[in-house]
Structure 1
Amino acid sequence: MVKQNNPFLDFDVTRMVGEFRMPGVDTEALLAAQRRNIEALTKANQLAAEGVQAVMKRQAEILRQTMEEASRMMGEIAKAGGPERQAVKQAEVAKTAFETAIANMKEIADLMTRANQDTFAVINKRVAESMEEVRAVMAKAAEGKTGPKT
């Protein structure tokens, strides 16, 4: 298995933050929160990629089915008999093809919506957690400066 380098995880944030220490602020807690942010972003990107793969796979299946159906329908039109019957059969085929195309578009849109919802759920959850973590660290730092609140 090939190890993939993640520039965000390889970056030495600890060293950088250590140079800019703020008195009373728990930089380790802030760094841990940032690591969780990056992990959530990585998870969201993975979900997005999986969603794109699912859509592409389904589109390929739809294309294959469409080609098979078109071939079958062309045979039915040819066997329909005279020009009038062929015209009626062509209209039926066109109607069926249109209805199938609409159903396929809806299915693809649903797949994309589901993938987007899953991806954004990860990000939204992490943003809320991160804001609470930062608030807690800052409240602790403020409490340290002014002493415990009574």
Structure 2
Amino acid sequence: MATSKKSTESTPRNPMELPTLDELKSLIGQFKLPGVDVNALAEWQRKDLEALAEANRQAYEGMKALAQRRTEMLREALTEWQENLKESTGKDAFAKQSEAAQRGMQQALDNFRELAEMEAQARNDAWKVVQERINENMANLQKLLPTRRS
């Protein structure tokens, strides 16, 4: 009977999972840099990773909402198209088709504008998270660097 041997190797880390603070400290500590506050550096990197994860989440949510809205618009357009086909018989069929085409064109332009605004908002929301973290990093760097006196 074969006995199962427990692997001493750790299971591979999910690449989408953020490292823990202890893992960051351990990784940075391997470099043994004199005069460097490993805890502060690890915390700094953790905040960077959190900001990046949040920016990705914001971008994902924005694109998801965009895709859902685009699907809704397609359904609405197909429903309207079916209704127009039902009404396209009779004496005034050409006038109804012309009017429906004008409404359809205006709706397409409105939809395009709405989707463009949603996409821009999603991009701006994600960038804002990154930009705020960059500003925090710059402020931290200014605190760490010695000031010149004239």
**Which range, TM-score by smaller chain?**
0.7 to 0.9
Q: Is the 8 A contact 1:25 1:138 kept in 2?
A: no
Partner amino acid, structure 1, of 2:64: Q
Aligned counterpart, 1:64: 75
The CA deviation string for residues 90-131 of structure 1, in whole angstroms up to 9 with x for no partner, is: 111111101001101111111111111111000000011012
Higher helix proportion: 1
SS, match of residue 109 in structure 2: helix
1:23-34 alignment to 2 at 5 Å? 23-34=34-45
Q: CA deviation at 1:138?
A: 4.3
Q: CA deviation at 1:89?
A: 1.8
Aligned partner (choices 80, 87, 91) of residue 76 of structure 1: 87
Give the gaps of 5 or more residues in structure 2: 1-12
CA RMSD, Structure 1 to Structure 2 (Å): 2.3
Distance 2:43 2:52 in 1: 14
Partner amino acid, structure 1, of 2:101: A
Q: CA deviation at 1:7?
A: 4.9
Normalising by the residue count of structure 2, what TM-score does the alignment of the two structures yield?
0.79
Distance 2:17 2:111 in 1: 39
Aligned counterpart, 2:19: 9
Partner amino acid, structure 2, of 1:98: M
Distance 1:130 1:123 in 2: 11
1:126 equivalent in alignment to 2:136: no
Distance 1:116 1:66 in 2: 27
Task: State the identity %.
Answer: 31
Q: CA deviation at 1:30?
A: 1.6
Aligned counterpart, 2:114: 107
Give the gaps of 5 or more residues in structure 1: 143-148
Structure 1 stretches of 4+ with a deviation exceeding 4 A read: none
Q: CA deviation at 1:28?
A: 1.7
Partner amino acid, structure 1, of 2:60: A
Aligned partner (choices 38, 41, 44) of residue 49 of structure 2: 38
Equivalent pairs counted in the alignment come to 134
